[in-house]
Structure formats: C-alpha cells, structure tokens
Amino acid sequence: MMDEDKIYQRIGEFVVSFQWLENRIREIGWFILDPSRENWPPMALRNERTAVLFKNVEKSFLDALPRCRLDPDIEADFSNSFAKNVERFRNLRRARNKILHSAYIELKAGGEVRGVMRSNPKLTKDSETGKPLFDQEMLSEKSFAEQFRQMAELALFFNRCYTQLIHRFPAD
C-alpha cells in the first residue's frame, strides 16, 4: 500500500530545507555587509531572485575572504569550494522550481491511492524530432533522497563559510 502522505511530506521538507539554505546564503551576505550588526537585519538582499542572490553573495564572499586572514591553503579551499558549489546550488534551485511548479496526480484503484505522479506542465520539444517531451515521474518517499543529500552537503559548506566570517571577518 502506498503512503501518499509521506510523499507530500517529503515535498514540503524539500521546499522548507531549500528555503533554509537560501536564507543561510542571505545571512552570509548580510554579515559581510554589516559585520558589526548595527542595522540588523540589513534591508539589502531581501528581494533578489535566488540566482541573483547567490551570484551577489558569491562575489561578496570571495571579495571578503582575503580580509579574514586565513591560511592561504584554507582560503584557496573556500574559494575553490564556493566555485564548485555554484552548479550544485543551481541544480537544486532547478529541482525546487520543478517541484513547486509541477502538478501531482494521485493514481487511484479500489478506492486507494496506488501511486503519485509528478507532472511538470511546462512542455519542451525534442531537438531532433520536434515532438513534445513530458517531464513526469512516479514518486515514492525516497524520490528526493539525492536532493536532500546535496542540500545537506551544501548546508555544511555554507555553515562553514558563515562560521569563518563570524570568527575572522573584521568588523571595521
């Protein structure tokens, strides 16, 4: 028997976890803008779309890193890691958008839900044949395991960034 509530729970957990990750990125930017927290929280970085927010915070963080006076190897690791995590974050953002903008269809038989299908209403076309491509998948409570793993790794990295700023970034 299918437990569709678990699927909807995972969708909600994914969205809330992504929002937390997005907020951590915003907090990194806010800390760089106002490390002494005189006007907290800053009004900047509140209304940017996620992609713009990430790009702005990435630039701010990479510009702020030398002021933290880290060991050169550690600074290089942060810089390289931030660059590597750009694509991972983009992929999660795309997954979030796909999840939020999809329709969820319950497949019922005998009065019970036997499956839940995610269907993205945005059709694309096959580049070779021109035929429409459908983005659909059957879901289970394990459907989002890879995205949760990726989010957990990004959360650890962004927490490391934030912690280094708190301890090392000068509050001029």
* pLDDT tens digits along 74-91: 999 999 998 889 889 999
Cβ-based burial of 54 (10 A; exposed 0-12, middle 13-18, buried ≥19): buried
123 φ/ψ sector (left φ>0, alpha ψ -120 to 50, else beta): beta
Residue 1 has pLDDT above 70, yes or no: no
According to DSSP, residue 142 is labeled T
Give CA–CA dist 63/72, Å, rounded: 14
Check residue 148 and report its DSSP letter.
H
Terminal Cα-to-Cα distance of the chain (whole angstroms): 61
Higher per-residue pLDDT: 102 or 171: 102
pTM of the model: 0.87
Contact residues for 172 (Cβ-Cβ < 8 A; gap 6+)? 35
The identity of residue 22, as a single letter, is E
Provide the pLDDT confidence category of residue 55 given band limits of 50, 70 and 90: very high
pLDDT for 2 equals 59
pLDDT 10s digits, 12-40: 999 999 999 999 999 999 999 999 888 88
Amino acid at residue number 118: R
pLDDT for residue 153: 96
Tell me how crowded residue 40 is: count the other CB atoms within 10 A of its CB: 9
pLDDT in tens, 110-158: 988 899 999 998 888 989 999 999 999 999 878 889 999 999 999 999 9
pLDDT above 80: residue 47: yes
pLDDT tens digit string along 56-71?
999 999 999 999 999 9
